[in-house]
């Protein structure tokens, strides 16, 4: 059976990632005409990228939950690999949006802001689906709810 320390660490990363997702969503929802919109979105996207990197490091590490699932529930190895394979794409999406934001002037026009907003909302959707599949995988492996918001 999976150790409480592994579940606790995964749950903490899950909570941090969810919180960063909610912060970014709140910044995206604010009026883009506001002078600080781009700066706030950039700040929250940077924090999301950090939380995603921490999530990847934790779950893919040698003692992380993915290794434990593969060891204790090898029938789920394909699902572990599928989730693991999503991490580079999610990271690339976050990096691309960050680069797009950094290329904008401090006062983006409506079309530029809409493009950034649409890309970031796409990332948030992809992250939400990734988190849901991860929660299902942990439950299927250990019959433990990982929790952590949303």
Q: Each residue of 39-49: pLDDT tens digit? A: 999 999 999 99
Percent of the residues in the chain that have a pLDDT greater than 70, as a whole number: 93
Token pair for 10: 């995964």
Region 62-69: mean pLDDT is 91
Residue 48, CB half-sphere, CA atoms under 13 Å: how many? 30
Q: Give the pLDDT confidence score for residue 13 in this predicted structure.
A: 83
Residues 6+ apart with CB under 8 A from 52: 17, 20, 87, 90, 91, 94, 127
Q: What is the pLDDT of residue 149?
A: 61
DSSP state of 54: H
**CA gap 78, 76 in Å, rounded:** 6
- Which of the four pLDDT bands, split at 50, 70 and 90, describes residue 150? low
Per-residue pLDDT band at 132 (split at 50, 70, 90):
very high
Six-digit token string for 54 = 């921490």
Q: Where are the domains of the chain?
A: 4-142
pLDDT for residue 148? 58
- Higher-scoring residue by pLDDT: 149, 104: 104
Rg for the chain (alpha carbons), in Å?
A: 17
CA-closest candidate to residue 128, choices 88, 90, 80, 78:
90
Residue whose tokens read 């809409």? 114
Task: Write out the two tokens for 78.
Answer: 């394909």
Give phi and psi for 123, each to the nearest 5. -65, -45
Query: Look-up: residue for tokens 């948030």?
Result: 124
Residue 147, pLDDT above cutoff 70: no
């Amino acid at each position: 059976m999976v150790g409480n320390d592994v579940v606790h660490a995964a749950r903490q990363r899950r909570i941090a990632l969810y919180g960063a997702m909610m912060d970014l969503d709140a910044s995206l929802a604010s009026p883009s005409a506001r002078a600080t919109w781009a700066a706030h979105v950039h700040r929250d996207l940077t924090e999301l990228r950090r939380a995603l990197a921490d999530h990847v490091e934790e779950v893919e590490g040698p003692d992380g939950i993915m290794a434990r699932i593969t060891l204790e529930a090898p029938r789920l190895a394909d699902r572990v690999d599928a989730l693991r394979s999503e991490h580079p794409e999610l990271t690339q999406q976050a990096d691309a949006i960050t680069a797009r934001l950094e290329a904008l002037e401090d006062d983006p026009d409506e079309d530029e802001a809409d493009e950034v907003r649409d890309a970031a909302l796409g990332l948030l959707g992809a992250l939400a689906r990734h988190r849901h599949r991860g929660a299902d995988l942990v439950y299927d492996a250990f019959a433990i709810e990982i929790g952590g918001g949303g």
